[in-house]
Amino acid sequence: MYLAKEQGKNNYQFFSEELHQILAKKLQLERELRKALDEKQFTLHYQPKIHLQTGQIIGMEALIRWEHPDLGLIPPIQFIPIAEETGLIVPLGEWVMRTACQQIKVWQETGFTQLAVAVNISLRQFMQNNLIEMITSILEETGLSPQYLELEITESMALNVDYTIRILNRLKGLGISISIDDFGTGYSSLSYLSQFPIDRLKIDQSFVRNLNPRNQAIIKTIIDMAHNMKIAVIAEGVETQEHVDFLKEQMCNEVQGYFYSKPLPTKEIDSFLQVNRYGESGSMV
Ligand code: C2E
Ligand code: MG
Ligand code: MG
């Protein structure tokens, strides 16, 4: 029934053995996710964000990982969709927010005073009715100043423009930054860009990965448009010197990708920060 509904109204699907397997696997994953939350099997990895002109480390994106006792490290793409479907993303997202804010506060206290943290927020989380209260209380609890918290949302939020504007304005009112993740791949409508209070666009990695003439044109256009609107631009998926050179030429503000660092566990980021220590804040030269 659900599969038929997913494909639109007035539709049907035959129940098959294959479908049975898929549903059984989903149910099992859901059960395991609940257990994982109770047993604290989740962990955050952090990926540095670099200011392109100065080489300074300006922040970290928090990326969730599931350390499954038997299956090893499971990437988010394999469980976030199920967490969203089942609503488990709400407690999971709260855990991510609290852990990321606590950790960035620790790094700030060791001398990286300007380091910010970016947390991914999925559509289901954005729609939860206590989102603002949840974030406010975590900021209070951890003592992190709101200017160092950034929320990464996706273009799917633009499906409900009025609601999104209301929530984003309240978040901005708290002093939190907002960025649009995977920009250029979703249900883009330029009209929301003029209405949403956005600080940053993240150019999707698919454009950066393949720098053919068309993707170069898209990147240039995004940067130009964003800058005219006083919105900063960060490119993700930066893997090579060629990517860096092109983005520098285009005056892209910030970069993130394997060229600088993969997302790493807390301990390894500790060393990464120490190695790239440069005065009050980190710097990549
Ligand atoms: P995203 O927010 O767009 O994160 C970027 C993804 O690209 C990450 O995958 C990162 O590991 C990967 N990446 C970074 N630099 C490079 C690079 O240079 N080359 C390549 N090939 N990949 C790179 P990851 O960690 O597997 O996360 C996938 C997605 O899962 C994220 O995409 C985000 O949408 C979602 N996600 C991750 N953590 C959370 C979370 O805590 N909450 C929610 N709601 N979603 C999350
Ligand atoms: Mg992101
Ligand atoms: Mg992205």
Q: How far is the CA of 37 from the centre of ligand 3 (A)?
A: 24
Does this model's pTM top 0.85? My answer is yes
Q: If pLDDT is split at 50, 70 and 90, which confidence band does 270 have?
A: very high
Q: Which of 64-68, 102-106, 123-127 has the lowest mean pLDDT?
A: 123-127
- Residue 12's pLDDT is 67
Is the minimum distance from the CB of 56 to ligand 1 under 6 angstroms? no
Q: If pLDDT is split at 50, 70 and 90, which confidence band does 5 have?
A: low
Ligand with an atom nearest the CA of residue 263 = 1
Mutate to test the pocket of ligand 1, among 46, 79, 101, 120 (most ligand atoms within 8 A of CB): 120
Please write the tens of the pLDDT for every residue from 135-194: 999 999 999 999 999 999 998 888 888 999 999 999 999 999 999 999 988 876 788 888
Question: Residue type for 20, please?
Answer: H
Mutate to test the pocket of ligand 1, among 44, 185, 236, 259 (most ligand atoms within 8 A of CB): 236
- Residue 186's pLDDT is 80
First to last CA, the chain: 56
Does position 282 have pLDDT exceeding 60, yes or no?
Answer: no
Does position 8 have pLDDT exceeding 80, yes or no?
Answer: no
- Residue 279's pLDDT is 43
Rounded mean pLDDT, 23-48 = 92
Is the minimum distance from the CB of 182 to ligand 1 under 6 angstroms? yes
Does position 71 have pLDDT exceeding 90, yes or no?
Answer: no
Is the minimum distance from the CB of 48 to ligand 1 under 6 angstroms? no
CA dist 278 and 266 (Å) reads: 19
Is the minimum distance from the CB of 261 to ligand 1 under 6 angstroms? no
- Residue 20's pLDDT is 86
- Residue 2's pLDDT is 67
- Residue 187's pLDDT is 72
**Cα–chain center distance at 277:** 25
**Do the Cβ atoms of 187 and 155 come closer than 8 Å?**
yes
Domain 45-275: give its CATH superfamily. EAL domain (3.20.20.450)
- Residue 249's pLDDT is 98
Rounded mean pLDDT, 109-124 = 95
Ligand 1 atom 22: residue of nearest CA:
237
Q: What percent of the chain has pLDDT over 90?
A: 76
Burial state string for 187-218 with b = 16 or more CB within 10 A and e = fewer than 16: eeeeebbeebebebbbbbbebbeeeeeebeeb
Is the minimum distance from the CB of 237 to ligand 1 under 6 angstroms? yes
Ligand 1 atom 25: residue of nearest CA:
63
Domain regions of the chain by residue span: 45-275
Give percent helix, percent strand, percent coil of the chain, each to the nearest 5. Answer: 50, 20, 30
Is the minimum distance from the CB of 77 to ligand 1 under 6 angstroms? yes
Q: If pLDDT is split at 50, 70 and 90, which confidence band does 53 have?
A: very high
- Residue 27's pLDDT is 86
- Residue 280's pLDDT is 44
**Do the Cβ atoms of 236 and 261 come closer than 8 Å?**
no
Q: How far is the CA of 78 from the centre of ligand 2 (A)?
A: 16
Is the minimum distance from the CB of 181 to ligand 1 under 6 angstroms? yes
Of the two residues 23 and 101, the one the predictor is more confident about is 101
